[in-house]
Structure 1
């Protein structure tokens, strides 16, 4: 367990942590790992990218569902 505190989280672990944080279901263990070994800039950048993907996806979904109005 003590080796987990000094081991950097992988890219996928960071992405999954950000997604879990979006939904508010982050585990305490992962949160502790993120705060002790992760770099904040990685989480911020991935959070911004995922937020942009989410907004663009919603805009695309709305444009598919709603008909074009003149």
Structure 2
């Protein structure tokens, strides 16, 4: 049976790690957990999805602001 220290990170832990890394505030403890127990492919896919959602959100906000400004 796996101990809590040997379990791979959950989806929410990986999402938190990707968001923290994107903004440059990842803790050493979480980074160590991710590199020790996480699969790189999961972080790459989640990072790409996060980046796409973030970019599309910014694009939508800019379009909304320009629409409301009458440009």
Smaller-chain TM-score bracket: 0.7 to 0.9
Task: Give the 5 Å matches for 1:21-32.
Answer: 21-32=21-32
CA RMSD of aligned residues (A): 1.5
Q: Within 1, Cα distance between the matches of 2:31 and 2:16?
A: 11
Q: What's 2:18 paired with? A: 18
Matched with 1:56 is 56
Matched length: 67
TM-score normalised by length of structure 2: 0.87
4+ residue segments displaced more than 3 Å: none
Q: Deviations over 1:30-60 (max 9, x none)?
A: 0000000000000000000000001100110
Unpaired segments ≥5 residues, structure 2: none
Tell me, what secondary structure is at the counterpart of 2:9? coil
- Structure-2 separation of matches of 1:15 and 1:31: 12
When the two structures are superposed, what TM-score results if normalisation uses the length of structure 1?
0.88
Gaps of 5+ in 1: none
Whole-angstrom CA distance in 2 between matches of 1:17 and 1:36 = 13
